[in-house]
Structure 1
Amino acid sequence: MHYFRTITAVVLVVTCMLFSTSGWAQDEEQQLPEELVFRAAEPSPIANFVVQLFTEAYGKLGINLRFEDMPRNRSLTEANKGRIAGEMGRVERLHDEYTNLVRVDFPLFDSEVVMVADRRECGLCGFSTIESFAYIGGTQSVEEVLEEGAIDMPRIKAVNFTQLELLYTNDRVDAILVNDFEAEQLQAVDEYTIFVPYKRNTGYHFLHRKYAFLVPKLETILTDMLSSGRVLEIINENSAHIRTTLGFENPPNFGSIRLSAGLWPEYTNADGSGAYWDVMGRIFAPVATDIDLHANTFSRAYRGLDDNRFDALVGALGQQTPDNTIVSRNHIDFDSPLYLFAASEQDIQAVQAGTMQRPICHVAGYEYEQLLSADLTYYSADSHLDCFAMLDMGRVGAVVSYPENVPDWTNSPYTMIKLRDALPIHVAFQKTPHGYRLRDWFDIKFREMVETGIIKDIYTDEMIQRAYLHLSFARSANTTIPAGIRGTAW
């Protein structure tokens, strides 16, 4: 069972559930309704899980459910007035404001409010480095973040998820705030998209007070479904996996940490010096018994992470990491534009047309096939210099590499063409509970280093500009951190 599936939160919390409906009229002899009406949720794995769960739970009481389209703001008013039956998945304290609603004390899912933005526009991003944002009106979890952080800046309230995404993709706003399970449904997500977590919430079901007599019945049914394994089955059927940070009430103790990286002069030197190694040491040395650094060829560093021999790979591209890993939400740098090098213009044209018979050489661990024709063959080498040596000997037709890797031994210049722009560089961690904790601690502390300016003691001005990190602390003095969010918000 995946550590971060929704069922984790359910199992942990349901064992200590308390039920109290004092003050609500309860009539055990009251006739059960034949049908209940709720707002139709925008489809997502979590929303689909909740709908199926309650369709089955209410079905055991002989109650059918009907879902109607309406804005989230309106549904809150309609539910509080009893014109619809209630709300399916809302924040825990919803009934403090909407006093006619009764909470069903069964935790459904954990989620985080996240800011979605383009890291090229705002660096590590946050309210201090954007000018405007949008969110779906009536999303209580988002509105709590704005209220707690006293956020006073231009914003647009979208009616639904579709409108929210259009506002973002059409550049009407710099960022959007949304629950993480909804952010996963965004189409406009690429390597430059950053997800900044702000606050963790647990979703609950609420009913209007006139249906309060159904609450204990539902809690019994849901608990039985949990015990029988049916809740987990529904979660799996809907792929309702959610990954959240548990936060850090106290500094952790990670024990021994093994870090790997490709050998990059000035960044990850073999002797343990270099800017990236310095960053990792400052972040993890205070919370580790020791840190073991390994700089090697990138292919060996990549395989070491894939084989679980290292806790993290420093210097990974987000879309080119092993399947059993996760990457930091914060980038540590940007690489250079990537080029295709060949001996002649004719060879470049043959590669672009997919007719080159000789293989295309690249460094093992990087996957460049999506940038070129599917009809080509590839050869994975241990180093860029190996690729260029084979290109000079005519053993390969072209090389995928960076301009700074071109050897100085060649007497004639190569023909070259750009394949893509620079991409953000991350730290990749194991996709395990330990890996998620390491990732979350890294993201928290690296952001602190940037916003406080400590990063300027490690990175050159050129590196800071290249990575857009200057944007992250340009107005950090005005940054307001929402109260009580510890370790899950910046």
Structure 2
Amino acid sequence: MASASSLVLDKTELHEEHKYIYQTLIDAYKDIGVGINFTELPYTRSVVSANSKTIDGIMLRAENHTRGYSDLIRIKLPFPVSNTIVVINKTLCPNCKLSQLYSIAHVSGFSFPETSLNISGSQNYKIELSENERLWHFFKAGRVNAIVTCDTYLPESLRDESKYRYVQIESNQMYHYLHKDHQAIAESLKTALQSAANMRSDSKTRAVLTSPQ
């Protein structure tokens, strides 16, 4: 287990345009004198591991993906929202409405409003995979009509409007999470993140950090 001066955090790969979030966190931890090391765990296991203090926390996760894990402290980040999107394969389902999707996949533990997709019927197949890399390969291989993910994670290889259609179904605030035993570090980190936000010219970034949690 990591000491108070060094933490082990789960790190899910982000799209290039969002990687500044991780750098902001790395810099904030450096400012408070805490080292961080990264591990990559399956999506659900990372939350379970952080909640049980097998690891110290999670770099980035939507709030609705951590509900029920009471031993985690959430820390607001300089990042407005993450959009939950349906990515549809145009070749397999060129003119499909969401309710007409025959099959859809997502990572286990990725919560989304299933009612908006109407995938509870017997004609719809929902597939859960353990991690994002498997999800991307599964989808690119044409195994399902669509996937549900968030735009923060979606890789460049799946950002092609000639092949895929994108439908936003939800927006969620993203947070950094630490185990509750790291309350003192969490408070120091919040201050460091606020200082980082004050150095940025983006007023929306500052608004996210200063709004009520």
TM-score (norm 2): 0.81
RMSD: 2.5
Deviation digits for residues 11-40 of structure 1, max 9, x if unmatched?
xxxxxxxxxxxxxxxxxxxxx811111112
Q: Distance in 2 between matches of 1:54 and 1:210?
A: 19
Match of 2:193 among 204, 222, 225: 222
| CA distance 1:149–1:213, shift in 2 (3 Å) | farther
Q: Which residue of 2 aligns with 1:151?
A: 119
Asked if the contact 1:113/1:199 (under 8 Å) is kept, the reply is: yes
Question: Aligned-pair distance for 1:187?
Answer: 4.4
Q: Which residue of 2 aligns with 1:173?
A: 144
Match of 1:125 among 96, 99, 111: 96
Tell me the amino acid that sits aligned with residue 177 of structure 1. V
Question: Aligned-pair distance for 1:116?
Answer: 1.0
| CA distance 1:192–1:43, shift in 2 (3 Å) | closer
Tell me the amino acid that sits aligned with residue 119 of structure 2. I
Asked if the contact 1:136/1:158 (under 8 Å) is kept, the reply is: yes
TM-score (norm 1): 0.37
| CA distance 1:166–1:106, shift in 2 (3 Å) | closer
| CA distance 1:197–1:90, shift in 2 (3 Å) | same
Asked if the contact 2:78/2:193 (under 8 Å) is kept, the reply is: no
- Rg comparison, structure with higher value: 1
Deviation digits for residues 450-479 of structure 1, max 9, x if unmatched?
xxxxxxxxxxxxxxxxxxxxxxxxxxxxxx
Deviation digits for residues 41-82 of structure 1, max 9, x if unmatched?
214225522221111101111111100121111101001101
Deviation digits for residues 274-333 of structure 1, max 9, x if unmatched?
xxxxxxxxxxxxxxxxxxxxxxxxxxxxxxxxxxxxxxxxxxxxxxxxxxxxxxxxxxxx
SS of the aligned residue for 1:181 comes to coil
Q: Which runs of 5+ in 2 are unaligned?
A: 206-213
Percent identity between matched residues is: 24
Question: Aligned-pair distance for 1:115?
Answer: 1.0
Asked if the contact 1:107/1:203 (under 8 Å) is kept, the reply is: no
| CA distance 1:106–1:50, shift in 2 (3 Å) | closer
Q: Which residue of 1 aligns with 2:34?
A: 63
Q: Which residue of 2 aligns with 1:475?
A: none
| CA distance 1:188–1:60, shift in 2 (3 Å) | closer
Asked if the contact 2:119/2:125 (under 8 Å) is kept, the reply is: no
Asked if the contact 1:135/1:156 (under 8 Å) is kept, the reply is: yes
Q: Distance in 1 between matches of 2:19 and 2:180?
A: 25
SS of the aligned residue for 2:76 comes to strand
Q: Which runs of 5+ in 1 are unaligned?
A: 1-31, 236-490
SS of the aligned residue for 2:143 comes to coil
2:6 is the alignment partner of 1:38: no
| CA distance 1:181–1:90, shift in 2 (3 Å) | closer
Asked if the contact 1:114/1:178 (under 8 Å) is kept, the reply is: yes
Q: Which residue of 2 aligns with 1:340?
A: none
Question: Aligned-pair distance for 1:135?
Answer: 1.1
Q: Distance in 1 between matches of 2:182 and 2:116?
A: 32
Asked if the contact 2:32/2:192 (under 8 Å) is kept, the reply is: no
Q: How many residues align?
A: 198
Asked if the contact 1:50/1:88 (under 8 Å) is kept, the reply is: no
| CA distance 1:188–1:102, shift in 2 (3 Å) | closer
Larger RCO (CA under 8 A, 6+ residues apart) = 2
| CA distance 1:105–1:162, shift in 2 (3 Å) | closer
SS of the aligned residue for 1:189 comes to coil
Q: Distance in 1 between matches of 2:75 and 2:156?
A: 27
Aligned 1:379-394 pairs, distance under 5 A: none
